[in-house]
Structure 1
C-alpha cells in the first residue's frame, strides 16, 4: 500500500465533496435553519436520530444544542433518540427494529417540534418510519442524507442530500452541516455573537 497516495486521495475526495456540498446545499441548509428556529420559537424542541455513525451524530448535535456550542448561553431544547438503552432494546425486542424511532416519536414528539433524521443512504426503514410518525403528529420533518436521498425524497422537507456515494464523505458533511446548524441557531436566536 502506498500510504502517501492513500492520504492524498482521501483529502482530495473530501475537498471535492466539500465543494460540491457547498454548491448544492445552501438553500436547503437555510431552510433547515429557519424551520429549526421556527420550532424553537414556537416552544418546541429539536429531535435527532439515526443509526450507527448517524446515531453518534444525533447525540453529538443534540448535546451541542442542549449544553453549548460556541458560547455559554441558555440551553436549547434538543435530544437524540439513540441514547436510552432500555427503550432501544425494549422496542427492538417487542416491536421490531424498524419501530425504534417511531415509537419514541409517538411518546415524545409534539407538533411544535423539529425532527431531523440522519441516514447516509436514505434507506433506513427505522429512520423513514420515525419521520413518518413525526409527520403524522404535525411536527416539522427534515433529514440529512447522501447518494440519491433514497426513501427520504418527498418525505423530509428540507432534505439535505450530500452529493456523494461514499459513506465516509457523507458522514463528514453531515457532522459539518449539523455543527453549522447549531452555530446558526445560536446566532439566529440571539444567543451568540
Structure 2
C-alpha cells in the first residue's frame, strides 16, 4: 500500500517564532524526516553560519523527543502530530486519490454529507464546491437540463444553479437570454 504514496509525503517551510528570524524546511519522504535550517541574524557571531540539515528515519524520529519539540515549536503542534502519524504508518489515502475518482465517490453522498466533507480541509472544500460535482448533482436531480440552463450555469456556476428555486431560475434564464440577444444585436 505504501507504494501508492509519492516519494515526498510532506514539504513545508516556516520561520522560527519571534525574536528569531531563522528559516526552516521540513521534508517528509517515504523513509526519512529531513529538517533543514538557515540562520538569519545580523549578529557577527552568526554571519558565517552555514545552513544545517538533519535526517532521521521514521522509526528514529518517533523516538526523538528533542527533534519533535523543535518541529512543534517552529511548525506547530498540528504539523508535528501529522508527521508523527505518517511516520507511524497512518496514511490518509482518501486525500491522495485523484480528483476524478474523488468526484465519482462524492456523487454517491447526500448533500448534508458533502457540506460536512467540505469543512474537513481546503482540498475537500475545493472539490466539494467544484462545478464538475455540482453539474453532476444538477443532472441527477433535474428531469432534464436544457442548453440554456447549461449556459446559465457557465455564468453563475452549477452550485448556484442548483440552489436557485424554479421561479428564480426561470427569471434568471429570461434575463440571460435577453442579455445574449442584446449582445448579438450590438455586434
| TM-score for the superposition, normalised by structure 2 | 0.20
Bigger relative contact order (CA 8 A; separation at least 6) = 1
| TM-score for the superposition, normalised by structure 1 | 0.20
Question: Higher Cα Rg: structure 1 or 2?
Answer: 2
